[in-house]
Structure 1
């Protein structure tokens, strides 16, 4: 059992008056000629200037573009589009392109440079080889929740849809020039970091507070942000942060995935308000579903419930989208939610990338070209 934090060590959850949404989108910089990664993020950010929508990340090949607080996926995409236009102008002028996928098809991790900063240096010093290997990109989606007591039940129940979210976004089949056999190698890589991976399935905010207290007391973390779960509370923002997704290459798919995430969390929130006990699965089922989605993507047969019933993830997705349609209408994102169904029809990113590689006799520069071309601002 976790230790009991004192009142001074309680974690205040800011709470959101409305179920707002925010998006963080990580991009790699690639050289326009070689299509390899370029460690020029600091110069790009310097030229962009002071902009709260553009952030540095751990590696110098990465910039992050974020939204403000938005009402729905439609507003979030408009926000991102505005920032991306100016960023891409700077990137192009410096002989580079913006690229987003869970991994780069052929870049080598040991050639990448670390962004200056004590936090990044301490992470690498602690994690060593695994930390240096983190040549990965993702998307994070924040959804506002009104009060702390709802947060952990929603997170624990949302894990039932973890494989859907990962399979739809899977975009990292390659690692250093080779096909890993996985749809999302990023998901497998990232969980190697301490405090990363699947969240513990707490049911109360007090349990989470006790966990954080133990983590700090034993020196595992110094700050709550160092808990790098795939789905985690963001107490200072009053949100649940979903970090399941691989990097997404285009706005159309991103809009669909943001709408799906928004609807899932709002649906669970409303069911709590109605007095419903939210469904959960044993941790071993959740863990297996993560692996199946990472390995097989949209071909994964997932575990549906605590009774160990199974179904193809795309078949379950159809039913899920139908169930969420009224929620999407209430959030004014019905078109974006419907677009989720286009991803299996047209092929997820990992499938498109493999198709391009096959058509170009294994030339992975063509894969990079195709991903760059998908970003239509």
Structure 2
């Protein structure tokens, strides 16, 4: 039986971007997660500015708020958009006794005390995934980049996997879970892939392959809607973008700007290389999978596989060359400073390293939460 379902891709005329930034809500006193999102969204609905509701979204659990940009030309516009929403949310959060927490996981919260956001979509997810679904105390950053033709989308998705470990290592911010150090830089990356349609994407090259895959998924009841494919990097046909969902939650505006600028440059670089007639480099799925694990486990100290010949290199050394190569594109995209700032993340220490350092100094996971909350003011 032919299950292929045509999927229209609403092409973006220019490589515009959009960003989704997830935060946990933590109690000002206990520093535990707070199921207070309903109160926050009630206050948002009372604001005079109706556009605020479009920029501030609910998520699976009542301990989470997501800030979403409009369509932006460059990183600077996206950060300005998010900063405006951030100011609104922080003001309301302060009034109701919570702070915003920007990391991939919370150091000591227990999943059993978290409340689900009302809605059929979320209830169905938990009903299907059960224990694993309830464990999803995770937060991340998603970046959309516009693509002008659907035939470019899947080659870009597949080739972008070569840079997966760089993005995960730079953003890794989830070393602790349920009161313990997991030994991983990004436990979030390991957790999220337990959901049945999450994890690394299949490396399709033709749009028809993706349509056939989606048709099979829908025919067999695995998904009902396209957005239930929760890959780490995925096509977003309705928006006309490639969506990069690799990054852990981020605690500072500066680091967020650097990561957004880097992702924008990486996608535009691949797009232009396709226009020039180049066949984009890809690596075998087993190498991509290994790189994901290495970056999740070792973060900025990961030795990654760089090509199909299985050459290996320290991720930060490879990052240095990548930033140099992307500099001309950053100039075109007006994100020179943001891209250059990425080099400072390993110098300053990644979030997972800063969290471990704080715990080593204090022996107190509440102090770790305090430090992440405070970083939002940097």
1:24 aligns with 2:25: no
CA contact 2:3–2:219 (8 Å) conserved in 1: no
| Match in the other structure for 1:55 | 57
Q: 1:267 to 1:91 in 2, by over 3 A?
A: same
Instruction: Indicate the SS of the match to 1:207.
Output: helix
Which residue, out of 257, 260, 266, partners 2:259?
A: 257
Q: Which moved more, 1:45-54 or 1:84-93?
A: 45-54
Q: Partner of 2:343: helix, strand, or coil?
A: helix
Distance 2:205 2:35 in 1: 42
Q: Are residues 1:116 and 2:112 paired? A: no
How large is the Cα RMSD of the aligned pairs?
0.9
Alignment partner of 1:318 is 2:320? yes
1:18-167 correspondence runs (5 A): 18-49=14-45, 51-167=53-169
Q: Which residue does 2:11 correspond to in 1? A: 15
1:128 alignment partner, SS class: helix
Shift of 1:376: 2.1
- Alpha-carbon offset, residue 46 of structure 1: 1.1
Q: Deviations over 1:198-244 (max 9, x none)?
A: 00000011100110000000100000000000000000000000000
Deviation string for 1:323-365 (max 9, x for gaps)?
Answer: 00000000000000000000000000000000011111x2011
How far is the alpha carbon of 1:4 from its aligned partner?
5.2
Question: Which residue of 2 is the match for residue 266 of structure 1?
Answer: 268
Task: Structure 1 unaligned segments of length 5 or more: list them.
Answer: none
SS of structure 1 residue aligned to 2:326: helix
Q: Deviations over 1:7-29 (max 9, x none)?
A: xx310000101100100000111
1:287 to 277, 285, 289: 289
> In structure 2, what is the Cα distance between the partners aligned to 1:4 and 1:186?
34
> SS state of the match for residue 302, structure 1?
strand
3-state SS of paired residue (2:25):
strand
Cross-structure match for 1:373: 374
2: CA distance, partners of 1:366 / 1:137: 19
Change over 3 Å in CA distance of 1:3–1:179 after alignment to 2? farther
Q: 1: CA distance between counterparts of 2:93 and 2:274?
A: 45
User: Deviation digits for residues 148-171 of structure 1, max 9, x if unmatched?
Assistant: 000000000000000000000000
Question: TM-score, normalization: structure 2?
Answer: 0.97
Contact 2:111–2:137, Cα closer than 8 Å, also in 1: yes
Question: Counterparts of 1:169-180 in structure 2 under 5 Å?
Answer: 169-180=171-182
How many pairs align? Answer: 372
Following superposition of structure 1 onto structure 2, how do residues 223-242 of structure 1 map, counting pairs within 5 Å? 223-242=225-244
Moved over 6 A (4+): none
